[in-house]
Amino acid sequence: MFSKKIVMIVGVIVLIAVNLIVLSVTSRRYHTHGPGQSAIFFIAPFQKITTSSISFIRDVWSDYFCLVAVKQENDNLKKALDRAIEKNNQFNEIEIFNLRLRKLLNFRKNMAGQALVAEVIGKDPSPWFKTIIIDKGKSDGVGKGLPVLMPEGIVGQVIYASLHSSKVLLVVDQISAIDALVQRTRARGIIKGGSTGQCFFMYALRKHDIRVGDTIVSSGLDTVFPKGLRIGKVSEVIKSNFGIFQEVIVTPYVDFEKLEEVLVVLNTKPISDVSDQ
């Protein structure tokens, strides 16, 4: 079976051939009557069809190449649009990064000591441990025990430092402990990490006035974190009818799911690592 396209082409070729043969046989110079006129009468419709067919094929052929050119141009425009979208996305990321970095640098200007900007390059995948990895280590002056901060508040402290990276224990980890106080009333206690991403203000006496919304800050007495750094906000206070302590739940100011850059305070004396001894 032949396709319609092939049949159409063959038909056009046959019409052209027949037209040429008949014209060559019947046409004579200076003879425009008699049998020649009759032949022309019958051939004229075929000539018209042939001419129309040739024009149609020429137009189709031209339109085909035009469509090919338009398709190529459309593909090129799509690729250019994709590149423009990607560049715009990169510019947006750079702008957001610059805003975060500017915020960190402004925070560092207000600090008394030196601080180093570090990028978060990893997180502990285990649900039992709340730690992150930063891209600064001993070669940058980072050592074990140094506090890690954000403009929003305390992030944690360095618990291990290699040459070019360090591990940071977050304040929401269950083994984390920070000597703290209620900013409004100066009531003392210890901030301990919880399993739900919140913290507990431990050993707060029942007699102390602690309310929901109070800010908890570092006391500076643990010799790790400078005094007055924000930790979190009191979200719940439970006073039982017995015992000397009240239960205080604290929500950290830092969003640990969105950590990308942090500040490591360098003026605090690092704790000697076992590997350094």
pLDDT tens digit sequence for 216-263: 999 999 888 989 999 999 999 998 888 899 999 999 999 998 899 999
In this prediction the pTM is: 0.65
Helix (H) or strand (E) holding 101: helix 35-109
The whole-number pLDDT of residue 275 equals 37
| Residue 185 and residue 151 in one domain | no
| Residue 106 and residue 120 in one domain | no
The whole-number pLDDT of residue 45 equals 62
| Residue 67 and residue 86 in one domain | yes
Nearest to 181 by CA among 150, 145, 214: 214
Query: Up-side HSE of residue 51: CA atoms within 13 Å toward CB?
Result: 6
pLDDT of 65 strictly over 60:
yes
Whether 277 is in a domain gets the answer no
| Residue 100 and residue 206 in one domain | no
Dist. CA 108–CA 116, nearest whole Å: 9
Tell me if residue 123 falls in helix, strand or coil. Answer: strand
pLDDT of 202 strictly over 70:
yes
| Residue 134 and residue 264 in one domain | yes
The whole-number pLDDT of residue 140 equals 93
- For the ranges 28-32, 252-256, 268-272, the lowest mean pLDDT is seen at 28-32
Report residue 74: phi and psi, to 5°: -65, -40
- For the ranges 66-70, 137-141, 172-176, 255-259, the lowest mean pLDDT is seen at 66-70
Whether 155 is in a domain gets the answer yes
Tokens describing residue 79: 């690729």
- Distance set, CA 151 to CA 162, 164, 191, 231, 264 (Å): 25, 24, 19, 11, 12
Dist. CA 20–CA 43, nearest whole Å: 10
pLDDT of 170 strictly over 60:
yes
Tell which wins on pLDDT, 250 or 274: 250
Whether 163 is in a domain gets the answer yes
CATH number at residue 235: 2.40.10.350
Nearest to 224 by CA among 158, 164, 134: 158
Tell me if residue 55 falls in helix, strand or coil. Answer: helix
What average pLDDT score do residues 166-179 get?
95
**Considering the chain, what is the average pLDDT of its residues?**
80
Nearest to 134 by CA among 164, 114, 154, 107: 164
| Residue 4 and residue 124 in one domain | no
| Residue 121 and residue 187 in one domain | no
Tokens describing residue 120: 């978060």
| Residue 203 and residue 226 in one domain | yes
The whole-number pLDDT of residue 32 equals 47
pLDDT of 155 strictly over 70:
yes
End-to-end Cα distance, the chain: 89
Give the confidence band of 108 by pLDDT, cuts at 50, 70, 90. Answer: confident
What average pLDDT score do residues 155-162 get?
95
- Distance set, CA 152 to CA 56, 254, 263 (Å): 74, 6, 11
Range of the domain at 247: 177-253
| Residue 136 DSSP code | -
The whole-number pLDDT of residue 3 equals 57
